[in-house]
Copies of this chain bind each other. A is one copy, B any other.
């Protein structure tokens, strides 16, 4: 598929780098900017495929590292691929496992063609490299496969970062040569932390390999928000405008708006379902703790005006009670709301860009959305520097 057919750039915002596009995959088209729900282990936590489709989910994520351990590729092969296994007949993007190997597992040895590590689950010795990651993703049959990269912690030394970028580039080239499943797209991943020279170098090397799209990795690795924004800003100019850009593992709703303004088209994040399990809801005004006693007799929906199944049918008081007594329905309903909230933000972003009102939406969001204390402190610290 040519880049033009694979990714259609429909409209560019005049006030920012935001754009509306359409990404065509083997399992259908995806309107961008898009939020991709995370289904690490072949399930978006607490939700079923029907709920996901009803709330407008276009594409979900699966993970090479986890799925290779359980259920394992023998079962995925017998099922006829990941779409069939989990009965999700829309697009799937699979992460390569690089991030998990470098964050979850105990690394035994980084070798020329991959990493020897111990499973986080049972300590068994495993090996994952470009060849293995691409083979697993071909077996999964995802619509978009990611290259196997070296994703170092944000506390890495310059020397470590240098090594990670070198390996990422070398491994990307190996990934590029591996067999794919029919129609499978492959995205490169740019590393280099907050170092402009490394980001530029890594991006240019990858673009030279002509991937179907490009991800900015090495973000959401524990760095403060200003550093994350900078990593995106110093990388984006080196990515082709006519191809999709994906910021991995981000972010809060307010961050997504700002990242769209910086030219990013695709996002994935565990926050909507993870904070739901802690009793927290995302709203246009920031996150609120529904589990807290403040809402115990509050009979409004989680967010007034929200069209999600939870807000249409249940009150804060009821959901708070469910969370308080440990009923699964409580975290289900918050997962529904939070996921729909993210999707609706993206729908509104797309509509605003098309209508030429993205700047107003962006300012409105910045005014109304109260970030968490952690984000505010990081911003203050950055301003002081």
Contact = CB atoms under 8 A, between A and B. Distances in A.
B41 A85 contact: no
Given A48-B332, A297-B78, A327-B41, A317 B85 contact: yes
Most buried by B among A78, A328, A333: A328
A314 B48 CA distance: 11
A75 interface: yes
Contact of A313 (B41, B87, B329): B87
A309 B325 CA distance: 27
A332 to B, nearest CB: 7
Interface in A301-350: 309, 313-315, 317-318, 321-322, 324-325, 327-333
Greatest chain B CB density within 10 A among A74, A79, A85, A329 is at A329
Number of copies: 2
A333 B43 CA distance: 12
A45 B327 contact: yes
Interface in A327-380: 327-333
Given A317-B75, A318-B87, A327 B43 contact: yes
Given A321-B42, A322-B43, A75 B297 contact: yes
25 contacts: A41-B321, A41-B322, A41-B325, A41-B327, A42-B321, A42-B322, A45-B328, A46-B329, A46-B332, A50-B313, A66-B325, A70-B321, A70-B325, A71-B296, A71-B321, A71-B324, A79-B315, A79-B318, A85-B317, A85-B318, A86-B318, A87-B313, A87-B314, A328-B328, A328-B331
Given A79-B315, A328-B331, 17 more contacts: A41-B322, A41-B325, A43-B327, A43-B328, A43-B329, A46-B332, A48-B329, A48-B332, A66-B325, A70-B321, A71-B296, A71-B317, A71-B324, A75-B317, A78-B317, A85-B317, A332-B332
